[in-house]
Amino acid sequence: MIKVNGRFWLEKDNKSFLGAGRIELLKRIASTGSMNAAAKEMKMSYKAAWERLNSMNELAGEPLLERQTGGKGGGGTKLTPYAYEIIETYERLEALHREFIERFSEASDSPEHLAKILNRLFLTTSARNQLLCEIKKISYDNVYAQIELQLSEEKRLHSIITAKSMNSLNLSVGEKAYAIVKSSDVKVYKDRPKESKDVNIIEAKVVEMQSNESQVELTLSLDSKTNERELVSMESLEDAKGIAIGSVVYAVIEPTNIIIGI
């Protein structure tokens, strides 16, 4: 099977600025407090490590390292706040790049499927919720298809689309797909609704609230540890009573309101 691959680098002023090795060096310096120790852990010479840091410093425009003198350990090296900032930026962009490459790899042995993905790359929809999932199960008849989607380790979604749409998208178990939901199709409840195979129930935490005279836009975190995966719901002022930032709530989505995108 043919597989698409690609390395991720950031450039500045047409020069190599950040790559996986350079980011790893910064992180090792942060953990050891010493450039010499970081270089040893990465099995490179102190000179090579210093040349990499010097190159990054020149392009960064701001210092990446701070020297510490004296103290019990005899001084050392630590990262500046800006260095932590560029590490975070690089890792977020690298994760998006990896996702991009993975999507290409899924269809790399099928030029037709790859062409479909390319045609959709620059498509923007008004739907606020576009959740990347893995297709775990497909069952269908002549009219409808039921798609089971793995949203996270603990969370699964069920979507119902037409069989024609399923065939048009060329969906298959194991591939990645987007669960697309309008914010108005997400209903939020303070108490957990009764379990039902006819609806999707997702436990989440409110991390942001925006309101006007009649409605409240709720941003819900679907991950208990980070806010990387979010769901947006539009509720009336009445329905949002008693809900505040930090509240644990339950988002309910009907399977027919989950559109599948690839």
Task: Give the pLDDT of residue 122.
Answer: 54
Residue 125, in any domain of the structure: no
Task: Give the pLDDT of residue 186.
Answer: 95
Residue 131, in any domain of the structure: no
Which CATH number goes with the domain that contains 97?
Answer: 1.10.10.10
Q: Give the residue from 54, 76, 103 where a domain finishes.
A: 103
Residue 138, in any domain of the structure: no
Specify burial of residue 197 (Cβ count, 10 A radius: 0-12, 13-18, 19+): exposed
What is the pTM (predicted TM-score) of this model?
0.56
Q: How many domains does the chain have?
A: 2
**Per-residue tens of pLDDT for the chain, all 262 residues:** 566 677 888 888 888 899 999 999 999 999 999 989 999 999 999 999 999 999 998 999 888 988 876 544 445 788 999 999 999 999 989 988 887 777 677 666 666 666 666 665 555 666 789 898 999 999 999 999 999 999 988 889 999 999 999 988 888 899 888 999 999 999 999 999 998 888 999 999 999 999 998 999 999 998 766 556 889 999 999 999 999 999 999 999 999 999 998 7
Q: Which three-class secondary structure state does DSSP give residue 47?
A: helix
Residue 210, in any domain of the structure: yes
Residue 258, in any domain of the structure: no
The DSSP annotation for 110-172 comes to: -HHHHHHHHHHTT---S-SEEEEEEEEEEEE-SSEEEEEEE-SSS-EEEEEEEHHHHHHHT--
Task: Give the pLDDT of residue 49.
Answer: 92
Q: Give the residue from 103, 134, 163 where a domain finishes.
A: 103
Residue 173, in any domain of the structure: no
Domain range enclosing 25:
10-103
Which CATH number goes with the domain that contains 206?
Answer: 2.40.50.100
Task: Give the pLDDT of residue 148.
Answer: 96
Residue 36, in any domain of the structure: yes
Residue 126, in any domain of the structure: no
